[in-house]
Structure 1
Amino acid sequence: MEKQKILVVEDEADVRELLCYNLRANGFEVETCGDGRLAMDKIEEWKPNLVLLDLMLPGLDGFSVCRKLKNESQTSGIRVIMLTARGDEADIVTGLELGADDYITKPFSPKVLIARINAVLRRPGRTSGTGEKDSGLLKVHEIEIDTRKYQVSVSGKPCKLTSTEFRLLCFLAARPGWVFTRYQIVDAVHGADYPVTDRSVDVQVVGLRKKLGEAGKYIETVRGVGYRFIE
């Protein structure tokens, strides 16, 4: 089987070396780059399946690299995991809204990193960097989401959702296993500074679960934190 290709975009040589060692030890083909602008050229030339992207980069910062990737049809299907020492909620939400598939903060466990990479590469609904456009389909368990037609089906049966419920489901289902606070959910679904209380988010989740029927069990409450979609 052909090896999955990962581009490591990281300006710290020791971190780059550690990442390469662990990725190659786990069967990935790896290339590296320490500059945001040079990374764009490398991505266009090499077409990796996934980019491990630091935020603090010379030339072009990680947010700008991610934005450019996701706005170009030839690269929009390439997976992006942001890897950075900046763990503020605002940075995480910004990265996800730009289209990043995951966000890992330093210091990190190599085993957890590899597990998160494998989980991202297994997700449906995107291409592997071949230049084909995203199909707009996301299928998790028995739930199928068409992000272009704003349609959801559960076990083949249509499920009518409000626009807020649809965005909430897409946000959680696209990142299975991730735990999000209510504030992160509000920012992702409605935008920053939207006047919604914690209780309002809970009510929306309850309504979404009810409409999903048995599949509503995949939206799990994490006590004291928020919600996650079960992998």
Structure 2
Amino acid sequence: MTILVVEDDPEIGQLLQTTLNREGFNCHLAQDGLQALNAFWDYQPDLIILDLMLPKLDGLEVCTRIRQQTTPKDPYILMLTAKGEEIDRVIGLSTGADDYLVKPFSPRELVARVRALLRRSLRGEPQRTYTTQHFTLDLDRHIALQTKDTGEREPLDLTPIEFKLLSTFMSYPGRVWNRPQLIDKLWGDDFFGDERVVDTHVGRLRKKIEPDPSHPTFIKTETGVGYKFED
């Protein structure tokens, strides 16, 4: 798989390239928006890691121009943002970004996001199965399995909301979801009520999948922000 990293900070760019090459990816670098567009045509990457703040053309403009092109490959785009930048602008429909990651981040988290995006077989078609070390979700058959430490795979008895909540978490491992984002995923425009109902459903899901729900291993709380899934 070919990845294009667009980052104007040479040290960060080199770190990302080294990390991704070590993971077996073919990684190329660009340091401004115009270089990014040229590299996009030269390398036809499967995924682009795109910094929001860039010289010459910013990340939003680069993303928009790439999405307007007709090419053999339509790459996934992972946007890098700094804390305090308007996330909604980054992942809005007008930009075409697939996911975002807030700086500072760990190389391990970056690789997890990259692999999660590349596991999708075809752009535009939702992934129908999610698999991690301890969990398998088959969306078509509505089957949830958990692999215990003994290696035995046991079915999980989840309500429709719990199943959808777990599939949302597993679709982006490591991503932090706030309550409004989870409400949009679970109920969409049909939701009316207190957004803290999300906490109730997270608590019920934890009771079914966590070895110790009071000290969760898989669904973790980011204080003051929301929840994330790690496995």
Q: TM-score normalised to the size of structure 1?
A: 0.64
What fraction of aligned residue pairs are identical, expressed as a percent?
26
Give the aligned CA root-mean-square deviation in angstroms: 4.4
Q: Deviations over 1:203-227 (max 9, x none)?
A: 2223333454759742223444322
Gaps of 5+ in 1: none
Offset from partner CA, 1:118-171 (integer Å, 9 cap, x none)? 222444871599x9x775321123211234x16232235264431x43332222
- Contact kept? 1:219, 1:229, Cα under 8 Å: yes
- Match for residue 134 of structure 2 among 129, 142, 150: 142
Q: Report the CA distance shift for 1:52/1:167 in structure 2 as closer, same or farther (over 3 A).
A: same
Count the aligned residue pairs. 210
1:20 to 13, 16, 20: 13
Secondary structure at 1:198 match in 2: coil
2:110 to 106, 117, 134: 117
Q: Deviations over 1:14-63 (max 9, x none)?
A: 43x34433234446331427448973x85466343431123464697356
Residue pair 1:23, 1:30 contacting (<8 A) in 2 also: no
In 1: Cα distance, 2:66 partner to 2:187 partner: 21
CA distance in 2, matches of 1:83, 1:196: 33
Gaps of 5+ in 2: 22-26, 146-152
Q: How does 1:1-231 map to 2 (within 5 A)?
A: 5-9=2-6, 14-15=8-9, 17-26=10-19, 28=21, 29-32=27-30, 34-35=32-33, 39=37, 42-43=39-40, 46-55=43-52, 57=57, 61=61, 64=64, 74-75=73-74, 78-85=75-82, 87-91=85-89, 94=92, 100-105=98-103, 108=104, 112=105, 114-123=107-116, 126=119, 136-147=128-139, 149=140, 151-154=142-145, 155-157=153-155, 159-162=157-160, 164-191=161-188, 194-212=191-209, 214=211, 217=216, 218-231=218-231
More helix by proportion, 1 or 2?
Answer: 1
Provide TM-score, normalisation by structure 2.
0.64
